[in-house]
Amino acid sequence: MKTSRFSLFIFSLTVIFIFGLFGHALSGGDDTDDTVVVAEFASADMNEGAPVGWKLEKHKGMPVIKLEKVGDKFCLHMTSDDKSSFGIQKAIEVDVQEYPFLNWRWKVTKLPVGGDVRKADTDDQAMQLY
């Protein structure tokens, strides 16, 4: 198992990731008792290379991470290349019996050529969630 599998998200190529995990917060929905919002960025503020409240997992290379305003929301934009391996993580506890659905929006601008999670030598994806 690669070390990178321990990070919550691993991005291998340019990724624009708009979070709406466990709810509809990014689609303009109200926070209610039936949702757990994991990531809704209120500003472009960063802390030690990651969005406030998140931790940078840098394995090699130089991470390029920023929060960009899209409409009235902020989205996470991460850029990597074949010399970089990094991600961000945030530990949370969620009762999956009470909150059985996971929802998000994301956009990958370029898929990894030959990436295949089933083989260790080509285990390269634009996004992973653990």
- CB crowding 100-122: b at 16 or more within 10 Å, else e: eeeebebebeeebeeeeeeeeee
Tell me the backbone φ, ψ of residue 27, rounded to 5 degrees: -90, 10
State the Cα–Cα distance between residues 126 and 130, nearest whole angstrom: 14
Confidence class for position 51, pLDDT limits 50, 70, 90: very high
Determine the pLDDT at residue 94.
85
Determine the pLDDT at residue 118.
83
Mean pLDDT of the chain: 71
Confidence class for position 70, pLDDT limits 50, 70, 90: confident
Q: Is the pTM of this model over 0.85?
A: no
pLDDT at 121 over 50: yes
Is the separation of the CB atoms in 36 and 50 below 8 Å?
no
